[in-house]
């Protein structure tokens, strides 16, 4: 009787392709004894220490992200270049090949995420980005800056940044792991951004550096939406910011940029 109840509960908690930790399953009302028995009877399949799935061990990165978003207390979303790729705005990234999945959250990602990517073939690796110095709580708590991707019937959607938010998340890593030229290429393709969403994001963005770089790239590409933003409405701080070492100072936004640009 108990085994049948456990199976029924797991069927609802763990749709096909989803994963769950032992701690989370216990928080949903399953006893340690019931979980251990489910593992022994192979109702639950162990992917890595303390992390389980049902039906098949072939878990994709979408299932990991959707599961993480279900289990965590703090908001976590797919962002940056990963979000632009899902929106079809980074065609050079193939979602069919192993890739880096960029995840953004105020909290540090749980260790099991990296373990799972290492121990199983989830078709990707995960990179964590802290949002503490980038987004206000209002931005992180708002669904208006997120989109949803259906990846599996009857499973929660994967939440990812809208293009307006994603491009600013990319700019955090310029020029450390994202080149100026690459950021410029991405901005060139962002023809139809929403001035209303950009306004809210620029007001909620904590990074002076990101905002200045965003405006510099936007002015350089001169999209129609850029002309609907009033730069004076946003806090861009004071003084110079060195973004490109040995670069040239842009006197409008007071950041150093590569001389060839």
pLDDT tens track of the chain, all 261 residues?
Answer: 577 888 889 989 999 999 999 999 999 999 999 999 999 999 999 999 999 999 888 899 999 999 999 999 899 999 999 999 999 886 544 444 568 999 999 999 999 999 999 888 888 899 999 999 999 999 999 999 999 999 999 999 999 999 999 999 999 999 999 999 999 999 999 999 999 999 999 999 999 999 999 999 999 999 999 999 999 999 999 999 999 998 999 999 999 999 998
Mean pLDDT of the chain: 92
Nearest to 93 by CA among 162, 215, 182, 171: 182
**pLDDT tens column, 38-55:** 999 999 999 999 999 998
- pLDDT reported for residue 124: 86
First to last CA, the chain: 70
**pLDDT tens column, 59-70:** 999 999 999 999
Which is it for the CA torsion 206, 78, 64, 9, positive or negative?
positive
- pLDDT reported for residue 128: 95
CA distance 256 to 108: 31
Is the full-model pTM beyond 0.85? yes
- pLDDT reported for residue 93: 47
Structural element, H or E, at residue 52: strand 51-53
Tokens standing for 159?
A: 């939440």
Residue pair 183/174 in contact by the 8 Å Cβ criterion? yes
- pLDDT reported for residue 56: 84
- pLDDT reported for residue 98: 67
């Amino acid at each position: 009787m108990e085994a049948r109840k456990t199976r029924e509960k797991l069927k609802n908690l763990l749709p096909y392709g989803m994963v769950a930790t032992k701690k989370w399953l216990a928080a949903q009302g399953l006893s340690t004894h019931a979980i251990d028995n489910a593992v022994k009877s192979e109702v639950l399949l162990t992917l890595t220490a303390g992390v389980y799935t049902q039906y098949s061990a072939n878990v994709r990165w979408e299932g990991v992200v959707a599961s993480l978003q279900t289990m965590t207390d703090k908001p976590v979303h797919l962002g940056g270049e990963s979000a632009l790729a899902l929106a079809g705005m980074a065609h050079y990234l193939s979602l069919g090949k192993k890739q880096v999945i960029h995840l953004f959250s105020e909290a540090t990602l749980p260790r099991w995420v990296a373990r799972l990517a290492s121990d199983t073939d989830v078709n990707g690796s995960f990179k964590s980005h802290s949002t503490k110095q980038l987004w206000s709580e209002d931005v992180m708590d708002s669904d208006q800056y997120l989109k949803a991707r259906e990846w599996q019937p009857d499973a929660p959607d994967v939440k990812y940044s809208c293009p307006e938010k994603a491009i600013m998340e990319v700019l955090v890593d310029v020029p450390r792991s994202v080149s100026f030229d690459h950021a410029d290429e991405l901005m060139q393709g962002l023809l139809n951004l929403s001035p209303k969403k950009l306004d809210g994001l620029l007001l909620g963005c904590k990074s002076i550096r990101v905002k200045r770089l965003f405006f510099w790239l936007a002015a350089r590409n001169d999209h129609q939406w850029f002309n609907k933003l009033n730069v004076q409405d946003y806090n861009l701080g004071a003084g110079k910011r060195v973004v490109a070492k040995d670069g040239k100072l842009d006197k409008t936004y007071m950041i150093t940029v590569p001389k060839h640009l």
